[in-house]
Chain A
Amino acid sequence: MSQYAEAQEDLELQHHPGPGQYVKIAVILGILTALEVAISYVDALSDVLIPVLGALAIAKFVMVVGYFMHLKFDSKLFRYLFVTGIGFALAVFTIVLVIFFSAEGGPSPGGPGG
């Protein structure tokens, strides 16, 4: 490994959270999960259920990726690689939705071809 790479790795390790912080993050993740489940049972929130659950899932996703996978502390290049994958996934989803709903007027019981 090059000296630069070693220095980079040492720098990464210095910024990584300690075991105590990992436990705190896990507790927060557990609380968010409990909150998600509780919210899904509240009828009064049915109108805002999807955005609220979506926001909680994204929060959990970001916490795991940022702290447990260390993406918050590591090189930005890793972040770009990962975000590119997510971007492609969202693009595929959007394209599929557009094709489905514009060509067929929505998914039919027989599938895309009717």
Chain B
Amino acid sequence: VATGELSPAVHEHHTSTGLDNTKMAMWAFLGSECLFFGSFISTYLLYRNQTADGPTSAELYDIPYTSVSSFVLLMSSLTMVLALAACQRNDQRGMRAWLLATALLGMVFIGGQIYEFTEFAHEGLALSVSPFGSSFFVLTGFHGAHVTVGILMLLLLVGMSMFNRLGPDDSRKVELIGLYWHFVDIVWIIIFTVVYLIPAR
């Protein structure tokens, strides 16, 4: 234990619910994340019409472009769940391929978001220009940060698999990171509708 290696006794713990503690902790964490993003979405809805002298959402948003980004993130959820299915049947190559595909789709999404932010900045929208700008960048920026963390975790899983540190007994690790990944996807489902598709008055 002192060297960082957990003893089998630590691994084979019993829980009062009979459920895995790490999975329980992940669901509790995701529940708290609902509150985190719920607060930012609420703030955006309150300030979306307060553009001061800056550009409005109608002048900025490119719906076809964001639709493609949304589709890319949605499909990354499919590749993530296929990676988990491959892990559970001990298909290491398949799992690595699907994990890499998921990370790649996430990178495409983040690349699209960086491009969008750059375009908006050229149009005159900044964090301090208006309440609309602040709430938009904070909400979508935090979501992008979550996606970036997800990509890093996916690449870590790929690395572990390449060094044979991710066997069929470790499918829980893939499942937990998968839960996190799907969560950033469902947050985007809400953001896409509330921020982009429902027009500001």
Contacts and interface: CB of A to CB of B under 8 A. Distances in A.
- The answer to whether A and B interact is yes
Interface of A: 1-2, 4-5, 8-9, 13, 16, 18-19, 22-23, 25-26, 29-30, 33-34, 36-37, 40-41, 49-50, 53-54, 56-57, 60-61, 64-65, 67-69, 75, 77-78, 81-86, 88-90, 92-93, 96-97, 100, 107-109, 111
A92 B74 contact: no
A84 B31 contact: yes
Contacts of B9: none
Contacts of B194: 57
B151 to A, nearest CB: 18
B23 A78 contact: yes
A19 B82 contact: yes
B58 interface: no
B75 A30 contact: yes
B189 interface: yes
A93 B42 contact: yes
B42 A77 contact: no
Interface string B29-54: 01111110111011101110110100
The list of the 5 closest CB pairs from A to B, nearest first, reads A89-B38, A85-B31, A85-B34, A26-B78, A57-B193
B190 to A, nearest CB: 6
- Most A CB contacts (10 A, CB to CB) among B46, B64, B82 go to B46
A33 B186 contact: no
Contact of B186 (A9, A65, A81): A65
A14 to B, nearest CB: 11
Nearest to A39: B197
19 contacts: A2-B14, A4-B18, A5-B18, A26-B77, A33-B67, A33-B70, A37-B64, A77-B17, A81-B24, A85-B33, A89-B35, A89-B39, A93-B38, A96-B42, A96-B43, A97-B46, A107-B50, A108-B50, A111-B131
B14 A49 contact: no
B15 A2 contact: yes
B193 to A, nearest CB: 4
Given A82-B30, A93-B38, A26 B75 contact: yes
Interface in B72-123: 74-75, 77-78, 80-82, 85, 88
B142 interface: no
A54 B190 CA distance: 9
Contacts of A111: 47, 50, 131
B198 interface: yes
Interface string B158-184: 000000000000000000001100110
A61 B18 contact: no
B24 A22 contact: no
Contacts of A2: 12, 14-15, 18
A36 B67 CA distance: 9
Contacts of B28: 81
